[in-house]
Amino acid sequence: MSNIKKAFANGKAFIAFITCGDPDLNTTAAAVRSACENGADLIELGIPFSDPTAEGTVIQGANIRALAGGITTDKIFDFVRELRKDVKTPMVFMTYANVVFSYGAERFISACRAIEIDGLILPDLPFEEKDEFLPLCRKYGVDLISLIAPTSENRIAMIAKEAEGFLYIVSSLGVTGARSEIKTDIASIVNAIRKNTDIPCAVGFGISTPEQAKKMAAIADGVIVGSAIVKILEEYGKDAPPYIGAYVKSMKDALR
């Protein structure tokens, strides 16, 4: 069983996204630990990038702050290596193809294996071009996680059949960020996925309240929350970790 499957082994999964280095890596470490202690089943660690095309203003701001603070991919690798001494929750990186290319794809993916990163999400990598990274991900045992968007319609079966780790269902068109309402027919996307794979699927983009989380988890295997957590970091800075823990607990309780 891949480590990611463990995140979905005990009911509906809560997946927390945190941008590395916003406002600094010590705060990121405390935020990750607080999230895990309060029920996060999987952690998505964002590696900041100067042009994060999938992100709304909240996570864009976190990227800018982290990069301005001198964050680098090497610093993040060292940080995760240290974090892994006590944090056993499954963890994946979410970043952009250019970050992996510029670092060197094999060097990047082999480093993921060495520091026990379980998967990789690249929102700007088209499914048709995933062979740029897939052979290396398989070589080093790192799941390359595919995204399914509301516009994927005719490609859902194809993407689902080749999915690894979990499937990331993008709830809404556009970029990340809290939404008052999710209008996409998630149930029909999940039904199409279920016909082609038994890999778990989680819904992200726009989920911020326990009510939304409960509604989405009734359809899918888990929910992903990023902007709402990053907003807490923006508001409280170095004092944010306990607030993140309380928020994660409220969301996880809604899924139980």
Which tens digit of pLDDT belongs to each residue from 173-185?
644 545 455 557 8
In this prediction, residue 179 carries a pLDDT of 43
Q: Which domains does the chain have, with CATH numbers?
A: 3-255 (3.20.20.70)
| More confidently predicted of 17 and 184 | 17
Dump pLDDT digits (tens) for 87-125: 999 999 999 999 999 999 999 999 999 999 999 999 999
Q: Would the pLDDT of 142 be above 70?
A: yes
Q: Are 25 and 79 in contact (CB under 8 A)?
A: yes
**Angle formed by the axes of helices 241-255 and 25-37, nearest 10°:** 30
Select from 245, 246, 236 the least CA-distant residue to 31.
Answer: 245
In total, the chain counts a number of residues equal to: 256
Q: Rounded to 5 degrees, what angle do the CA atoms 110, 39, 168 make?
A: 50
Q: Are 149 and 160 in contact (CB under 8 A)?
A: no
- Cis peptide preceding 52, ω within 30 of 0: no
Q: Would the pLDDT of 172 be above 80?
A: no
Q: Name the residue with tokens 């899924």.
A: 255
In this prediction, residue 94 carries a pLDDT of 96
Report the C-alpha gap between 13 and 225 in whole angstroms: 11
In this prediction, residue 154 carries a pLDDT of 84
Q: How confident is the model at residue 202 (pLDDT cuts 50, 70, 90)?
A: very high
3 state SS of 154: helix
Q: Please classify residue 128 by burial: count the beta carbons closer than 10 Å to its beta carbon, then call 0-12 exposed, 13-18 middle and 19+ buried.
A: exposed
Q: pTM (2 decimals)? A: 0.94
